Amino acid sequence: MARVMELRKEIEAVSGNEKEEVIDKLIERVAKLVCNRIAKDYCMEKKMEMIKKKKCSGIGITNKNSSRKEKGGAVKRCHGPSSVEEEEEEQQLIIKKQKKKTKACNEKKNGKTTTTTKKKKQKTSTAGGESQKTKHSKIIQELDANPPPMPEEFRKCIENLGGTDISLVIHKIIFDTDLSKSHNRLSITIKKIKNKFFSDDEETNFIKSGEAKEVKLVEPCLKVSKVNLTSWLIGGSQAFVFNNQWHKIVVENADTLKTMAVFQIWSFWVRRESQKPDLGFALIKVGDVPDF
C-alpha cells in the first residue's frame, strides 16, 4: 500500500506532456513487480510440496500413496517437516545410520566377527552336551595327572642313541594345522609344557635369538629323523615349533599322525665328551580323542 501511494505522488508531481510517458513507465515497473512476486510465491509453494513428498516416502522417492482415506472418509495426510531446517536435520540422521550400516558390512567382509559369533564357534557342542574345547582340556588334565609310561621299545631306541634325562614334555592333541603341508610344523605352546627341557635362562635366550636348533626326533614308527626346533608367536602365545622336515614325517606316519590323535612328546639329551649335548625328542601316540 505504501508503495502505491509513492507511485501516485510521482504521477501527480508530473505535468504536461511528460505525464503520459511517466505513467507508461510506472505501469511497466508495476507489472514486473507483480510478475516477480507471483513467480516467487509459485516456486516456494512447489518447494514445500517436494519437501512433504520426500517426508512421506523417505529420501528422494515420491510416495504415490502419501495420503489415504480413513474409515470416516477424511483424508489422512502425511506429516512432513514444518521447515527446511527440520528436513535437513532428518537427512543428516539418516546419513549417519547409513554410514553405521556400511561400516558394519565392511567389518564383516574383512573377517571381523561379533562376540556372539565367536561364542557360538567356541561352544560347538559334543553329544554329551559339553564343548569340544572343554572336553579336550579334560583329556589333557587327566593324562597329565596320570601319564601313561613310555613304551619299552621307545625307551630302548633312545638308550641306543645314548639318550639320558628322559622326561615327558607335554600331552598334545593333533589338529589339522599340525598336519597341513602349507604349515609344515608341529607346535608346542610353551605355557602348557609339563616338564621343561631348557633352563629358564636357556629358554629366554633361545626365544630371543630366533634361531633354529637341529634336534633328533624319534618318530611314531621308531625311525630317527632330524628336524629344526625354533620358537614362534602363534595366536598371541609363544610356542616351540618342529619344522623343516615335519610334513615328510606326517606322510611317513599317516597311520598314526591323524587329526584328533593324542600324543606324548618326550625329551632327552645325548651327551658327548668335549661337545655340547644334543637335544632329542620322541613322539608317542597314546590314543584318539573319541577313545577318552
pLDDT per residue as tens digits for the range 222-254: 999 999 999 999 888 999 999 989 999 999 999
| Pairwise CA distance, residues 140 & 260, whole Å | 12
C-alpha grid cell, residue 194 = 609339563
Q: What pLDDT, on the 0 to 100 scale, is given for residue 70?
A: 42
Q: What percent of the chain has pLDDT over 70?
A: 67
Confidence of residue 26 (pLDDT cuts 50, 70, 90): confident
Confidence of residue 276 (pLDDT cuts 50, 70, 90): confident
Mean pLDDT computed over 38-56: 74
| Pairwise CA distance, residues 178 & 235, whole Å | 14
Distance set, CA 90 to CA 16, 97, 260 (Å): 63, 11, 57
Sheet holding 237-243, edge to edge: 163-173, 261-270, 278-288, 213-218, 224-234, 237-243, 186-189
Mean pLDDT computed over 202-213: 93
Q: What pLDDT, on the 0 to 100 scale, is given for residue 93?
A: 67
Burial letters 123-161, b for 16+ CB under 10 A, else e: eeeeeeeeeeeebbeebbeebeeeeeeeeeebbebbeeb
More confident: 12 or 173: 173
Q: What pLDDT, on the 0 to 100 scale, is given for residue 75?
A: 43
Lowest mean pLDDT among 80-84, 189-193, 212-216, 253-257: 80-84
Q: Tell whether the model's pLDDT for residue 12 goes beyond 80.
A: no
Q: What is the DSSP pairing of strand 213-218 with strand 278-288? A: parallel
Contact (CB, 8 A) for 281 and 218: yes
More confident: 256 or 34: 256
The four Cα atoms 190, 283, 177, 139 give a dihedral, to 10 degrees, of -70
Contact (CB, 8 A) for 155 and 132: no
Amino acid letter, residue 152: E
Confidence of residue 92 (pLDDT cuts 50, 70, 90): low
Q: Which conformational region is residue 227 in: left (phi greater than 0), alpha (psi within -120 to 50 degrees), or beta?
A: beta
Mean pLDDT computed over 36-43: 78
Return phi, psi of residue 118, to 5°.
-60, -45
Q: What pLDDT, on the 0 to 100 scale, is given for residue 77?
A: 45
Q: Name the DSSP class of 151.
A: P
105-158: pLDDT as tens digits: 666 656 554 444 544 444 444 445 568 889 999 999 999 999 999 999 999 999
Domains annotated on the chain, with CATH? 2-57 (no CATH), 133-291 (2.40.330.10)
Contact (CB, 8 A) for 285 and 255: no
Contact (CB, 8 A) for 169 and 265: yes
Confidence of residue 86 (pLDDT cuts 50, 70, 90): low
| Pairwise CA distance, residues 249 & 239, whole Å | 20
Mean pLDDT computed over 189-196: 94
Mean pLDDT computed over 14-26: 67
Q: Tell whether the model's pLDDT for residue 189 goes beyond 70.
A: yes
| Pairwise CA distance, residues 254 & 60, whole Å | 65
| Pairwise CA distance, residues 13 & 32, whole Å | 23
Mean pLDDT computed over 35-50: 78
Q: Tell whether the model's pLDDT for residue 175 goes beyond 60.
A: yes
Q: What pLDDT, on the 0 to 100 scale, is given for residue 3?
A: 62
Query: How high is the mean pLDDT of the chain?
Result: 79
